[in-house]
Structure 1
Amino acid sequence: MTSMRTFLTASLVLLVVACGGNPEPTGMSNPPAADLAAAPEQAGTSRAPAKPPAIVEESAADSSDSPIVLVAADTADANLPLAPQKYSAGQHYAVLTVAQGTSSSPDVIEVAEVFWYGCSHCYSFDPFVTKWSDELPAGVEFIRLPVIWNPTNQIHARMFYTAEALGKLDVIHDAIFKELHVNKKMLTTEAAIEDFFVRNGISSEEFQKTFRSFAVESKLKRAKNLTQRYRIQSVPLLVINGKYVTTGEEIRNFDDILAIADELIVREQAEL
Protein backbone atom coordinates (compact mmCIF):
# COMPACT_ATOMS: atom_id res chain seq x y z
CA MET A 1 0.00 0.00 0.00
CA THR A 2 2.89 2.36 0.66
CA SER A 3 3.92 2.33 -3.01
CA MET A 4 0.78 4.33 -3.70
CA ARG A 5 2.38 7.38 -2.12
CA THR A 6 4.91 7.74 -4.93
CA PHE A 7 2.12 8.56 -7.36
CA LEU A 8 1.09 11.72 -5.55
CA THR A 9 2.14 14.91 -7.30
CA ALA A 10 3.24 18.04 -5.55
CA SER A 11 -0.05 19.72 -6.32
CA LEU A 12 -1.96 17.08 -4.38
CA VAL A 13 0.08 17.76 -1.26
CA LEU A 14 -1.81 21.03 -1.00
CA LEU A 15 -5.09 21.28 0.86
CA VAL A 16 -7.74 19.04 -0.64
CA VAL A 17 -10.94 20.98 -1.14
CA ALA A 18 -13.59 18.30 -1.10
CA CYS A 19 -16.64 18.47 -3.30
CA GLY A 20 -19.85 19.34 -1.60
CA GLY A 21 -23.13 20.28 -3.14
CA ASN A 22 -25.91 22.79 -3.17
CA PRO A 23 -28.55 20.11 -3.11
CA GLU A 24 -32.02 20.64 -4.36
CA PRO A 25 -34.67 19.77 -1.74
CA THR A 26 -34.76 16.02 -1.21
CA GLY A 27 -36.38 15.77 2.20
CA MET A 28 -32.99 15.59 3.90
CA SER A 29 -31.86 18.15 6.43
CA ASN A 30 -28.54 19.24 7.82
CA PRO A 31 -27.40 16.97 10.65
CA PRO A 32 -27.44 18.76 14.02
CA ALA A 33 -24.12 20.12 15.19
CA ALA A 34 -23.83 17.45 17.86
CA ASP A 35 -24.03 14.76 15.22
CA LEU A 36 -20.90 16.05 13.55
CA ALA A 37 -18.64 16.40 16.56
CA ALA A 38 -15.98 14.23 14.92
CA ALA A 39 -16.27 15.84 11.51
CA PRO A 40 -15.14 19.45 11.90
CA GLU A 41 -15.41 21.78 8.93
CA GLN A 42 -12.36 21.65 6.70
CA ALA A 43 -11.04 24.99 5.55
CA GLY A 44 -12.27 25.81 2.10
CA THR A 45 -14.61 22.84 2.01
CA SER A 46 -18.02 23.09 0.42
CA ARG A 47 -20.50 21.16 2.51
CA ALA A 48 -23.81 19.49 1.75
CA PRO A 49 -26.86 18.72 3.88
CA ALA A 50 -26.33 15.11 4.06
CA LYS A 51 -24.11 12.08 1.24
CA PRO A 52 -22.41 6.50 0.03
CA PRO A 53 -20.58 0.88 0.08
CA ALA A 54 -22.24 -0.16 -2.80
CA ILE A 55 -25.05 -2.03 -1.01
CA VAL A 56 -24.65 -2.28 2.70
CA GLU A 57 -26.65 -4.66 4.84
CA GLU A 58 -28.39 -3.11 7.81
CA SER A 59 -28.29 -4.56 11.29
CA ALA A 60 -31.24 -4.61 13.67
CA ALA A 61 -29.99 -1.30 15.02
CA ASP A 62 -30.11 0.26 11.55
CA SER A 63 -33.69 1.48 11.67
CA SER A 64 -34.09 4.49 9.40
CA ASP A 65 -35.67 6.32 12.35
CA SER A 66 -32.60 5.85 14.54
CA PRO A 67 -30.06 8.65 14.07
CA ILE A 68 -26.48 7.56 13.49
CA VAL A 69 -24.22 9.99 15.31
CA LEU A 70 -20.58 10.76 14.60
CA VAL A 71 -18.61 11.31 17.80
CA ALA A 72 -15.01 11.59 18.83
CA ALA A 73 -13.73 8.35 20.30
CA ASP A 74 -13.17 8.23 24.06
CA THR A 75 -9.48 8.63 24.80
CA ALA A 76 -9.58 5.41 26.82
CA ASP A 77 -10.64 3.55 23.70
CA ALA A 78 -7.51 4.72 21.94
CA ASN A 79 -5.34 2.59 24.24
CA LEU A 80 -5.77 -0.52 22.14
CA PRO A 81 -3.21 -3.35 22.07
CA LEU A 82 -1.99 -2.20 18.66
CA ALA A 83 0.96 -0.32 17.26
CA PRO A 84 0.93 3.39 18.20
CA GLN A 85 -1.83 5.23 16.39
CA LYS A 86 -0.75 8.18 14.27
CA TYR A 87 -4.25 9.40 13.49
CA SER A 88 -7.00 10.37 15.91
CA ALA A 89 -10.79 10.46 15.94
CA GLY A 90 -12.16 13.94 15.50
CA GLN A 91 -9.06 15.18 13.69
CA HIS A 92 -8.56 12.60 10.95
CA TYR A 93 -11.64 10.41 11.01
CA ALA A 94 -15.10 10.13 12.53
CA VAL A 95 -16.45 7.10 14.36
CA LEU A 96 -19.99 5.89 13.79
CA THR A 97 -21.46 5.20 17.23
CA VAL A 98 -23.48 2.36 15.72
CA ALA A 99 -21.39 0.40 13.22
CA GLN A 100 -23.21 -0.17 9.95
CA GLY A 101 -23.34 -3.54 8.22
CA THR A 102 -21.45 -4.14 5.00
CA SER A 103 -22.04 -6.02 1.78
CA SER A 104 -19.03 -8.24 2.46
CA SER A 105 -18.76 -11.36 4.60
CA PRO A 106 -17.99 -10.90 8.32
CA ASP A 107 -14.37 -12.01 7.89
CA VAL A 108 -13.71 -9.38 5.21
CA ILE A 109 -12.89 -5.73 5.85
CA GLU A 110 -14.80 -3.47 3.48
CA VAL A 111 -13.51 -0.10 2.31
CA ALA A 112 -16.07 2.04 0.49
CA GLU A 113 -15.11 5.10 -1.52
CA VAL A 114 -17.92 7.63 -1.38
CA PHE A 115 -17.83 9.76 -4.52
CA TRP A 116 -19.77 11.74 -7.11
CA TYR A 117 -19.00 11.70 -10.83
CA GLY A 118 -19.55 15.46 -11.03
CA CYS A 119 -16.92 16.21 -8.36
CA SER A 120 -13.60 17.38 -9.80
CA HIS A 121 -11.74 16.21 -6.69
CA CYS A 122 -13.27 12.75 -7.03
CA TYR A 123 -12.03 12.73 -10.64
CA SER A 124 -8.52 13.63 -9.46
CA PHE A 125 -8.63 11.12 -6.60
CA ASP A 126 -9.91 8.21 -8.70
CA PRO A 127 -6.62 7.01 -10.26
CA PHE A 128 -4.86 7.17 -6.89
CA VAL A 129 -7.52 5.29 -4.93
CA THR A 130 -7.79 2.77 -7.77
CA LYS A 131 -4.04 2.06 -7.64
CA TRP A 132 -4.15 1.91 -3.84
CA SER A 133 -7.10 -0.49 -3.88
CA ASP A 134 -5.26 -2.81 -6.26
CA GLU A 135 -2.58 -3.24 -3.59
CA LEU A 136 -4.86 -3.94 -0.63
CA PRO A 137 -4.04 -7.13 1.28
CA ALA A 138 -6.10 -10.29 1.16
CA GLY A 139 -9.22 -10.02 3.25
CA VAL A 140 -9.87 -6.37 2.37
CA GLU A 141 -12.52 -5.55 -0.22
CA PHE A 142 -12.80 -2.19 -1.99
CA ILE A 143 -16.11 -0.92 -3.33
CA ARG A 144 -17.48 2.36 -4.64
CA LEU A 145 -20.55 4.08 -3.26
CA PRO A 146 -22.08 6.98 -5.25
CA VAL A 147 -23.33 9.78 -3.03
CA ILE A 148 -26.94 10.93 -3.30
CA TRP A 149 -27.76 14.45 -2.10
CA ASN A 150 -30.02 15.66 -4.89
CA PRO A 151 -31.49 14.74 -8.30
CA THR A 152 -28.20 15.34 -10.13
CA ASN A 153 -26.30 13.04 -7.77
CA GLN A 154 -29.11 10.52 -8.08
CA ILE A 155 -29.08 10.30 -11.87
CA HIS A 156 -25.29 9.91 -11.79
CA ALA A 157 -25.68 7.16 -9.17
CA ARG A 158 -28.30 5.53 -11.43
CA MET A 159 -25.76 5.66 -14.25
CA PHE A 160 -23.17 3.96 -12.01
CA TYR A 161 -25.51 1.15 -10.97
CA THR A 162 -26.74 0.69 -14.54
CA ALA A 163 -23.17 0.16 -15.73
CA GLU A 164 -22.57 -2.21 -12.81
CA ALA A 165 -25.73 -4.23 -13.56
CA LEU A 166 -24.68 -4.53 -17.20
CA GLY A 167 -21.23 -5.78 -16.20
CA LYS A 168 -19.63 -2.77 -17.88
CA LEU A 169 -18.49 -0.74 -14.90
CA ASP A 170 -14.81 -1.62 -15.29
CA VAL A 171 -14.74 -0.25 -18.83
CA ILE A 172 -17.14 2.67 -18.48
CA HIS A 173 -16.24 4.13 -15.06
CA ASP A 174 -13.25 6.12 -16.34
CA ALA A 175 -15.16 7.11 -19.46
CA ILE A 176 -17.93 8.68 -17.36
CA PHE A 177 -15.44 10.83 -15.45
CA LYS A 178 -13.79 11.93 -18.70
CA GLU A 179 -17.12 12.73 -20.34
CA LEU A 180 -17.95 15.10 -17.49
CA HIS A 181 -14.56 16.64 -16.74
CA VAL A 182 -12.74 16.52 -20.08
CA ASN A 183 -15.59 16.72 -22.59
CA LYS A 184 -17.67 18.91 -20.25
CA LYS A 185 -20.86 16.91 -20.80
CA MET A 186 -22.76 16.73 -17.53
CA LEU A 187 -24.94 13.72 -18.42
CA THR A 188 -27.94 14.90 -16.43
CA THR A 189 -30.73 13.51 -18.63
CA GLU A 190 -31.70 9.96 -19.48
CA ALA A 191 -31.37 10.70 -23.21
CA ALA A 192 -27.83 12.03 -22.83
CA ILE A 193 -26.83 9.06 -20.68
CA GLU A 194 -28.34 6.57 -23.14
CA ASP A 195 -26.44 8.19 -26.00
CA PHE A 196 -23.23 7.97 -23.95
CA PHE A 197 -23.79 4.28 -23.20
CA VAL A 198 -24.50 3.53 -26.87
CA ARG A 199 -21.28 5.29 -27.87
CA ASN A 200 -19.50 3.02 -25.41
CA GLY A 201 -20.78 -0.23 -26.87
CA ILE A 202 -24.04 -0.79 -24.98
CA SER A 203 -27.24 -1.14 -27.01
CA SER A 204 -30.26 1.07 -26.42
CA GLU A 205 -32.27 -2.04 -25.65
CA GLU A 206 -29.85 -3.17 -22.92
CA PHE A 207 -29.77 0.32 -21.49
CA GLN A 208 -33.56 0.72 -21.40
CA LYS A 209 -34.05 -2.66 -19.71
CA THR A 210 -31.58 -1.78 -16.98
CA PHE A 211 -31.70 1.96 -16.30
CA ARG A 212 -34.95 1.82 -14.31
CA SER A 213 -34.85 -1.84 -13.36
CA PHE A 214 -35.78 -3.14 -9.92
CA ALA A 215 -32.14 -4.02 -9.20
CA VAL A 216 -30.98 -0.48 -9.94
CA GLU A 217 -33.85 1.09 -8.00
CA SER A 218 -33.02 -1.05 -4.96
CA LYS A 219 -29.38 0.00 -5.01
CA LEU A 220 -30.32 3.66 -5.35
CA LYS A 221 -32.60 3.42 -2.34
CA ARG A 222 -29.84 1.87 -0.26
CA ALA A 223 -27.26 4.41 -1.44
CA LYS A 224 -29.53 7.30 -0.48
CA ASN A 225 -30.13 5.73 2.92
CA LEU A 226 -26.41 5.37 3.54
CA THR A 227 -25.76 8.92 2.42
CA GLN A 228 -27.86 10.00 5.38
CA ARG A 229 -26.68 7.34 7.83
CA TYR A 230 -22.98 8.01 7.28
CA ARG A 231 -23.64 11.76 7.62
CA ILE A 232 -21.42 12.34 4.61
CA GLN A 233 -20.86 16.06 4.11
CA SER A 234 -18.24 16.08 1.35
CA VAL A 235 -16.54 13.78 -1.13
CA PRO A 236 -14.27 12.00 -1.84
CA LEU A 237 -13.79 10.03 1.36
CA LEU A 238 -13.53 6.44 2.54
CA VAL A 239 -15.72 4.46 4.93
CA ILE A 240 -13.85 1.61 6.61
CA ASN A 241 -15.89 -1.46 7.53
CA GLY A 242 -19.01 0.58 8.22
CA LYS A 243 -17.34 2.07 11.31
CA TYR A 244 -14.97 4.88 10.37
CA VAL A 245 -15.27 7.84 7.98
CA THR A 246 -12.13 9.63 6.76
CA THR A 247 -13.17 13.18 7.56
CA GLY A 248 -11.53 15.76 9.82
CA GLU A 249 -9.87 19.14 9.91
CA GLU A 250 -6.36 17.65 9.88
CA ILE A 251 -6.82 15.93 6.51
CA ARG A 252 -4.82 17.96 4.00
CA ASN A 253 -4.46 15.82 0.90
CA PHE A 254 -5.17 12.52 -0.83
CA ASP A 255 -2.13 10.95 0.81
CA ASP A 256 -3.67 11.61 4.22
CA ILE A 257 -6.94 9.93 3.24
CA LEU A 258 -5.17 6.77 2.12
CA ALA A 259 -2.77 6.68 5.08
CA ILE A 260 -5.64 7.07 7.54
CA ALA A 261 -7.49 4.25 5.79
CA ASP A 262 -4.36 2.06 6.00
CA GLU A 263 -4.20 2.55 9.76
CA LEU A 264 -7.90 1.87 10.28
CA ILE A 265 -7.68 -1.27 8.17
CA VAL A 266 -4.89 -2.56 10.44
CA ARG A 267 -7.07 -1.81 13.45
CA GLU A 268 -9.96 -3.75 11.95
CA GLN A 269 -7.67 -6.67 11.03
CA ALA A 270 -6.63 -6.93 14.68
CA GLU A 271 -10.27 -7.27 15.70
CA LEU A 272 -11.18 -10.07 13.29
Structure 2
Amino acid sequence: MRLLRTAVLGACLSLSILALASPSAPQNGVDYVTLAQPQPVQAAGKKVEVIEFFMYHCPVCNALEPGLEVWVRQQGDRIVLRRVHFPFTGPADPEARLYLTLEALGKLDQMHAKVFKAVHVDRVRLNTDAAIIDWASKNGIDRAAFLSAWNSFGVTMKLRQLSKIVADYKIDSAPTLVIDGRYVTSPSIVNKDLKTSDRNTLFNATLEVASKLVDQAAKAK
Protein backbone atom coordinates (compact mmCIF):
# COMPACT_ATOMS: atom_id res chain seq x y z
CA MET A 1 0.00 0.00 0.00
CA ARG A 2 2.82 2.35 0.86
CA LEU A 3 4.46 1.68 -2.50
CA LEU A 4 1.15 2.30 -4.24
CA ARG A 5 0.72 5.62 -2.46
CA THR A 6 4.25 6.63 -3.43
CA ALA A 7 3.63 5.71 -7.05
CA VAL A 8 0.33 7.61 -7.13
CA LEU A 9 1.93 10.65 -5.53
CA GLY A 10 4.78 10.55 -8.02
CA ALA A 11 2.31 10.31 -10.91
CA CYS A 12 0.31 13.24 -9.55
CA LEU A 13 3.43 15.34 -9.22
CA SER A 14 4.47 14.48 -12.76
CA LEU A 15 1.05 15.42 -14.07
CA SER A 16 1.13 18.66 -12.12
CA ILE A 17 4.47 19.59 -13.65
CA LEU A 18 3.20 18.64 -17.10
CA ALA A 19 0.11 20.78 -16.60
CA LEU A 20 2.28 23.73 -15.62
CA ALA A 21 4.43 23.23 -18.69
CA SER A 22 1.49 22.78 -21.09
CA PRO A 23 -1.04 25.58 -20.75
CA SER A 24 -4.18 24.75 -22.75
CA ALA A 25 -4.86 28.36 -23.71
CA PRO A 26 -2.18 31.00 -23.18
CA GLN A 27 -3.63 34.24 -21.89
CA ASN A 28 -2.86 37.60 -23.41
CA GLY A 29 -1.24 39.80 -20.80
CA VAL A 30 -0.24 36.76 -18.72
CA ASP A 31 1.64 34.24 -20.85
CA TYR A 32 2.35 36.66 -23.68
CA VAL A 33 1.70 40.23 -24.79
CA THR A 34 0.34 41.46 -28.10
CA LEU A 35 2.11 44.33 -29.80
CA ALA A 36 -0.12 47.35 -30.32
CA GLN A 37 1.61 47.86 -33.66
CA PRO A 38 2.26 44.51 -35.41
CA GLN A 39 5.56 44.36 -37.30
CA PRO A 40 6.08 43.17 -40.90
CA VAL A 41 7.08 39.52 -41.27
CA GLN A 42 9.48 37.96 -43.71
CA ALA A 43 7.87 34.50 -43.81
CA ALA A 44 6.05 33.72 -47.05
CA GLY A 45 2.78 31.89 -47.61
CA LYS A 46 1.31 29.96 -44.70
CA LYS A 47 4.54 29.82 -42.72
CA VAL A 48 4.66 31.61 -39.37
CA GLU A 49 7.66 33.76 -38.55
CA VAL A 50 9.29 33.23 -35.15
CA ILE A 51 12.00 35.64 -34.03
CA GLU A 52 14.34 34.90 -31.16
CA PHE A 53 15.96 37.94 -29.59
CA PHE A 54 19.04 36.61 -27.83
CA MET A 55 22.57 37.47 -26.65
CA TYR A 56 25.60 35.21 -26.81
CA HIS A 57 26.75 36.13 -23.30
CA CYS A 58 23.27 35.60 -21.78
CA PRO A 59 23.25 32.45 -19.58
CA VAL A 60 19.49 31.97 -19.98
CA CYS A 61 19.81 32.20 -23.78
CA ASN A 62 22.54 29.58 -23.63
CA ALA A 63 20.45 27.29 -21.44
CA LEU A 64 17.37 27.69 -23.65
CA GLU A 65 19.24 27.04 -26.90
CA PRO A 66 19.18 23.18 -26.94
CA GLY A 67 15.45 23.05 -26.18
CA LEU A 68 14.73 25.78 -28.71
CA GLU A 69 16.61 23.85 -31.41
CA VAL A 70 14.51 20.75 -30.68
CA TRP A 71 11.32 22.84 -30.70
CA VAL A 72 12.21 24.38 -34.07
CA ARG A 73 12.74 20.93 -35.58
CA GLN A 74 9.40 19.78 -34.16
CA GLN A 75 7.63 22.69 -35.83
CA GLY A 76 8.85 21.48 -39.20
CA ASP A 77 8.16 23.67 -42.19
CA ARG A 78 5.26 25.54 -40.63
CA ILE A 79 7.61 28.18 -39.15
CA VAL A 80 10.55 30.28 -40.26
CA LEU A 81 13.01 31.10 -37.48
CA ARG A 82 14.91 34.38 -37.43
CA ARG A 83 17.41 35.37 -34.78
CA VAL A 84 18.20 38.92 -33.75
CA HIS A 85 21.11 39.57 -31.43
CA PHE A 86 20.10 42.14 -28.81
CA PRO A 87 22.58 45.07 -29.04
CA PHE A 88 23.43 45.02 -25.34
CA THR A 89 26.20 47.63 -25.45
CA GLY A 90 24.60 49.83 -28.10
CA PRO A 91 24.85 50.31 -31.88
CA ALA A 92 28.42 48.92 -32.06
CA ASP A 93 27.80 45.84 -29.90
CA PRO A 94 30.65 43.36 -30.69
CA GLU A 95 28.58 40.20 -30.14
CA ALA A 96 25.78 41.46 -32.37
CA ARG A 97 28.38 42.27 -35.01
CA LEU A 98 29.80 38.76 -34.66
CA TYR A 99 26.37 37.24 -35.31
CA LEU A 100 25.78 39.44 -38.37
CA THR A 101 29.26 38.66 -39.69
CA LEU A 102 28.73 34.91 -39.36
CA GLU A 103 25.37 35.35 -41.10
CA ALA A 104 27.00 37.29 -43.94
CA LEU A 105 29.63 34.55 -44.35
CA GLY A 106 27.03 31.76 -44.33
CA LYS A 107 28.70 30.30 -41.23
CA LEU A 108 25.86 30.39 -38.69
CA ASP A 109 24.98 26.70 -38.91
CA GLN A 110 28.63 25.85 -38.34
CA MET A 111 29.55 28.44 -35.72
CA HIS A 112 26.46 29.50 -33.73
CA ALA A 113 26.70 26.72 -31.14
CA LYS A 114 30.48 27.11 -31.02
CA VAL A 115 30.12 30.75 -29.94
CA PHE A 116 27.85 29.76 -27.05
CA LYS A 117 30.33 27.05 -26.04
CA ALA A 118 33.26 29.45 -26.21
CA VAL A 119 31.53 31.95 -23.91
CA HIS A 120 29.78 29.64 -21.43
CA VAL A 121 32.00 26.52 -21.35
CA ASP A 122 35.45 27.68 -22.39
CA ARG A 123 34.98 31.07 -20.68
CA VAL A 124 36.35 33.04 -23.61
CA ARG A 125 35.55 36.74 -23.25
CA LEU A 126 34.18 37.73 -26.65
CA ASN A 127 33.36 41.27 -25.59
CA THR A 128 35.75 43.24 -27.81
CA ASP A 129 36.32 43.44 -31.55
CA ALA A 130 39.91 42.23 -31.20
CA ALA A 131 38.96 39.22 -29.06
CA ILE A 132 36.26 38.17 -31.52
CA ILE A 133 38.44 38.54 -34.60
CA ASP A 134 41.20 36.54 -32.92
CA TRP A 135 38.76 33.81 -31.82
CA ALA A 136 37.23 33.51 -35.28
CA SER A 137 40.62 33.14 -36.96
CA LYS A 138 41.59 30.45 -34.45
CA ASN A 139 38.38 28.53 -35.15
CA GLY A 140 38.71 27.88 -38.83
CA ILE A 141 37.48 31.13 -40.41
CA ASP A 142 39.85 32.84 -42.82
CA ARG A 143 40.94 36.06 -41.12
CA ALA A 144 40.83 38.17 -44.28
CA ALA A 145 37.35 36.91 -45.21
CA PHE A 146 36.10 37.50 -41.66
CA LEU A 147 37.47 41.06 -41.58
CA SER A 148 35.99 41.79 -44.99
CA ALA A 149 32.51 40.76 -43.81
CA TRP A 150 33.01 42.35 -40.37
CA ASN A 151 33.73 45.75 -41.98
CA SER A 152 31.28 45.40 -44.85
CA PHE A 153 28.58 47.95 -45.59
CA GLY A 154 25.86 45.33 -45.22
CA VAL A 155 26.92 44.22 -41.74
CA THR A 156 27.50 47.81 -40.61
CA MET A 157 24.03 48.91 -41.75
CA LYS A 158 22.29 45.94 -40.13
CA LEU A 159 24.18 46.61 -36.91
CA ARG A 160 22.98 50.22 -36.87
CA GLN A 161 19.38 49.11 -37.43
CA LEU A 162 19.27 46.79 -34.43
CA SER A 163 18.35 49.48 -31.90
CA LYS A 164 15.32 50.46 -33.99
CA ILE A 165 14.28 46.83 -34.43
CA VAL A 166 14.46 46.26 -30.67
CA ALA A 167 12.42 49.42 -30.08
CA ASP A 168 9.80 48.49 -32.69
CA TYR A 169 9.26 45.09 -31.08
CA LYS A 170 9.33 46.57 -27.53
CA ILE A 171 12.08 44.14 -26.50
CA ASP A 172 13.78 44.87 -23.18
CA SER A 173 15.37 41.50 -22.34
CA ALA A 174 16.64 38.26 -23.82
CA PRO A 175 15.71 35.59 -24.60
CA THR A 176 12.40 36.75 -26.06
CA LEU A 177 10.32 35.13 -28.78
CA VAL A 178 8.08 37.04 -31.20
CA ILE A 179 5.51 35.05 -33.15
CA ASP A 180 4.03 36.38 -36.39
CA GLY A 181 5.27 39.90 -35.74
CA ARG A 182 2.71 40.45 -33.00
CA TYR A 183 2.82 37.98 -30.10
CA VAL A 184 5.68 38.34 -27.61
CA THR A 185 6.58 35.74 -24.99
CA SER A 186 9.64 34.85 -22.94
CA PRO A 187 10.66 32.88 -19.87
CA SER A 188 10.45 36.08 -17.82
CA ILE A 189 6.89 36.81 -19.00
CA VAL A 190 5.70 33.23 -18.47
CA ASN A 191 7.27 33.00 -15.02
CA LYS A 192 5.38 36.00 -13.69
CA ASP A 193 2.38 33.69 -13.45
CA LEU A 194 4.08 30.27 -13.35
CA LYS A 195 6.46 31.21 -10.52
CA THR A 196 8.73 28.18 -10.79
CA SER A 197 12.40 27.93 -9.88
CA ASP A 198 12.85 24.89 -12.13
CA ARG A 199 14.44 26.09 -15.34
CA ASN A 200 13.40 23.08 -17.44
CA THR A 201 9.78 23.47 -16.41
CA LEU A 202 9.91 27.16 -17.27
CA PHE A 203 11.52 26.57 -20.67
CA ASN A 204 9.00 23.85 -21.53
CA ALA A 205 6.14 26.14 -20.54
CA THR A 206 7.55 28.99 -22.62
CA LEU A 207 7.95 26.83 -25.71
CA GLU A 208 4.46 25.41 -25.22
CA VAL A 209 3.09 28.95 -25.17
CA ALA A 210 5.06 29.62 -28.36
CA SER A 211 3.54 26.49 -29.96
CA LYS A 212 0.02 27.67 -29.12
CA LEU A 213 0.78 31.11 -30.54
CA VAL A 214 2.08 29.55 -33.73
CA ASP A 215 -1.20 27.59 -33.93
CA GLN A 216 -3.13 30.80 -33.39
CA ALA A 217 -1.18 32.70 -36.03
CA ALA A 218 -1.43 29.83 -38.56
CA LYS A 219 -5.21 29.71 -38.24
CA ALA A 220 -5.40 33.42 -39.07
CA LYS A 221 -3.49 33.04 -42.35
Range into which the TM-score falls when normalised by the shorter chain: 0.7 to 0.9
Aligned partners of 1:223, 1:106: CA distance in 2, in Å? Answer: 26
Unaligned runs of 5+ in 1: 1-9, 14-83
8 Å CA contact 2:49, 2:80 repeated in 1: yes
Matched, 1:191 2:130: yes
Query: Per the alignment, in what secondary structure is the counterpart of residue 138 of structure 1?
Result: helix
Aligned partners of 2:182, 2:90: CA distance in 1, in Å? Answer: 27
Aligned partners of 2:43, 2:139: CA distance in 1, in Å? Answer: 30
Query: Per the alignment, in what secondary structure is the counterpart of residue 91 of structure 1?
Result: coil
Matched, 1:256 2:209: no
Q: Which residue of 2 aligns with 1:216?
A: 155
8 Å CA contact 2:40, 2:181 repeated in 1: yes
Aligned residues: 191
Looking at CA atoms only, which structure, 1 or 2, has the larger radius of gyration? 2
Change (3 A) 1:107 1:153: farther
Q: Write out aligned runs for 1:46-125 (5 A).
A: 86-125=25-64
Change (3 A) 1:163 1:201: same
1:174: how far off? 0.9
Aligned partners of 1:137, 1:178: CA distance in 2, in Å? Answer: 26
1:175: how far off? 0.9
Instruction: Tell me the percent identity.
Output: 31
TM-score, reference length from structure 2: 0.80
Aligned partners of 1:149, 1:123: CA distance in 2, in Å? Answer: 16
Aligned partners of 2:122, 2:91: CA distance in 1, in Å? Answer: 18
Aligned partners of 2:32, 2:158: CA distance in 1, in Å? Answer: 26
Computed over aligned residues only, the root mean square deviation of the Cα atoms, in angstroms, reads 2.1
Q: For residue 27 of structure 2, what is the amino acid of its counterpart?
A: S
Aligned partners of 1:246, 1:94: CA distance in 2, in Å? Answer: 7
Q: Write out aligned runs for 1:142-161 (5 A).
A: 142-151=81-90, 154-161=93-100
Query: Per the alignment, in what secondary structure is the counterpart of residue 114 of structure 2?
Result: helix
Matched, 1:266 2:209: no
Aligned partners of 2:71, 2:167: CA distance in 1, in Å? Answer: 27
Q: For residue 199 of structure 1, what is the amino acid of its counterpart?
A: K
8 Å CA contact 1:152, 1:188 repeated in 2: no
1:259: how far off? 0.5
Which of the pair is proportionally richer in helix?
2
1:255: how far off? 0.8
Unaligned runs of 5+ in 2: 1-13, 18-22, 197-201
1:106: how far off? 5.0
8 Å CA contact 1:114, 1:146 repeated in 2: yes
| Structure 1 range deviating more: 94-103 or 249-258 | 249-258
TM-score, reference length from structure 1: 0.66
Query: Per the alignment, in what secondary structure is the counterpart of residue 88 of structure 2?
Result: coil
Q: Which residue of 2 aligns with 1:131?
A: 70
